[in-house]
Amino acid sequence: MAIQKRTSTNVLLDTALRNFYAAAEEMRLDEGLVEILSHSERRTCVSIPVEMDDGSVKVFDGYRVQHSTALGPSKGGIRFHPDVCLDECEALAMMMTWKCSLAGIPYGGGKGGVSFNPLDYSQKERERLTRTFAARIEPVVGTWTDVPAPDVNTGGPEMIWFMDTISKMRNQLEPAIFTGKPISLWGSKGRTAATGLGVATCAMEVLKVSGKPVEGATVAIQGFGNVGTYAALTMVKAGAKVVAISDITGAYYCPAGLDIQKCFDFVSSHPKKLLEGYQQEGMQKLAGEDLLFLPVDVLLPCALEGAINGKNADKVQAKFIIEGANGPVTPEGDEILDKKGTLVVPDFLANSGGVIGSYFEWCQNLGGFFWSEEEYNDRLLRIMRDNFHRVWDYSTANGVKMRRAAFMVAIKRVADAVRMRGVFL
């Protein structure tokens, strides 16, 4: 009996499902496993009433999806963004399952979020929202059940509000339920830079296996948040030339190379952490999307999903794309890039440095023993390089694109776990 394939009107969920079904078919995965893994174990929807600074009350929608716990507690971030919805969280949770599996860490996949624009609210309003959301998802999160982390528009402060609320509700400190915490409160040295460092490591490895020098390679980076900034700093340190960066205020392009440390300092001191107003000699300002079409060697889309798609992929000139964001290239975009011979390092390999770093933090929290930053980075780089080469070797040995290869390696580990554990529950 052929299975009824799931589809979705949400582009990200539809893409996640299509990629999964295609890889599963190529691997000849049993139908039962395809059925199990194309569904999420639990999808939680909550409403979050928040008292505004002016005394009025607003209600927000929040979600937490646990796609799979076959390999361990589900793991994945919480994002604050107006586009957050249940389907998007499900797609991202599913991708986390593959990401953790591919990374070789003992986690399943989860993701959550709240649908709102944090820039429109005060810090106190955001704190109340985060704490109420924490209370609403408290029954489904835990050190050995589901471990959230930062994602788009969330970071250290939000993780502390989450941890503190749940610790107070349970009347005991619960440091290992949330990762991505500040160093002073059970966080790890190295976690903030981990995702960007991992993205840059994949960029350098793909250049190396393609016989291109990292020194002098030109790079454009879409998104100058947590991932983009540390990817940029690492690329520059390795001798590459970052010529363009962008955020919601537009793209900043300097063919001679941007002063990334200066950009970083500028954004760090900007009240909204934006590039608006950044100046440098020889720099021109472009519309945000135009960054994608610049004549560069390496393009790092580190913003949001769907950036490179069927409508614009033909204009991309870069030979190497390393997906720092989750889902920045749609399947239609992928097809066009493939025909042009562009090499794409898929998101769940490229940006796995963040969750690998989270795993280190969780281990340190469980043991109550902290590592040095050198130890953290050494381990991270070793794992990222090994994982990159595992996928690269599989891809070249089997004549499949890196994305498909990564899916096949990742799905196999989860499918084996489900098979061993059985179907019950």
Residue of closest CB approach to ligand GLU: 77
* Residue numbers 143-202 binding ligand GLU by CB under 6 A: 149, 151, 179
* Residue numbers 83-142 binding ligand GLU by CB under 6 A: 99
Does the annotation count 168 as an active-site position? Answer: no
Closest contact distance (angstroms) between CB of 403 and ligand GLU is 16
Which of 17, 40, 44, 75 touches ligand GLU (CB under 6 A)?
Answer: 75
Q: Which region, judged by CB under 6 A, interacts with ligand GLU, from 204-212, 244-252, 295-303, 347-355?
A: 347-355
Widest CA span of the chain, in angstroms? 65
Does 70 bind ligand GLU (CB under 6 A)? Our answer is no
Which of 355, 380, 384, 414 touches ligand GLU (CB under 6 A)?
Answer: 355
Residue 12 vs 149, nearer CB to ligand GLU: 149
Q: Which region, judged by CB under 6 A, interacts with ligand GLU, from 35-43, 203-211, 354-362, 394-402?
A: 354-362
3-state SS of the chain: helix, strand, coil percent to 5? 50, 15, 35
Q: Which region, judged by CB under 6 A, interacts with ligand GLU, from 70-78, 210-218, 387-395, 417-425?
A: 70-78
Helices and strands: H and E segment counts in the chain: 13, 12
Name the nearest CA neighbour of 221 among 314, 348, 88, 320. Answer: 320
Look at the alpha carbons of 408, 412, 413, 415 in this order and tell me if their dihedral is positive or negative. Answer: positive
Residue 199 vs 232, nearer CB to ligand GLU: 199
The contact mask relative to ligand GLU for 305-344 (x = CB under 6 A, - = no) is ---------------------x------------------
**H or E segment to which residue 30 belongs:** none
Q: Are 13 and 88 in contact (CB under 8 A)?
A: yes
Name the nearest CA neighbour of 350 among 102, 108, 180, 19. Answer: 102
CA 180, CA 191: separation in Å to the nearest integer? 6
Does 351 bind ligand GLU (CB under 6 A)? Our answer is yes
Which whole-number Å values give the CA distances from 323 to 194, 233, 326, 380, 420, in the listed order? 15, 17, 7, 18, 32
In the set 111, 189, 241, 319, the catalytic residue is 111
Residue 76 vs 118, nearer CB to ligand GLU: 76
Structure tokens at 165: 């609320």
Q: Which region, judged by CB under 6 A, interacts with ligand GLU, from 12-20, 63-71, 236-244, 352-360?
A: 352-360
Plot region of 321 (φ>0 → left; ψ -120 to 50 → alpha; else → beta): beta
Pure H helices in 341-401? 347-350, 353-367, 373-398
Which of 62, 72, 77, 198 touches ligand GLU (CB under 6 A)?
Answer: 77
**H or E segment to which residue 218 belongs:** strand 218-222
Number of residues in contact with ligand GLU under rule CB under 6 A: 12
Could you give the residue numbers annotated as active site?
111
Which parts of this chain interact with ligand GLU (CB under 6 A)? Answer: 75-77, 99, 149, 151, 179, 326, 351, 354-355, 358
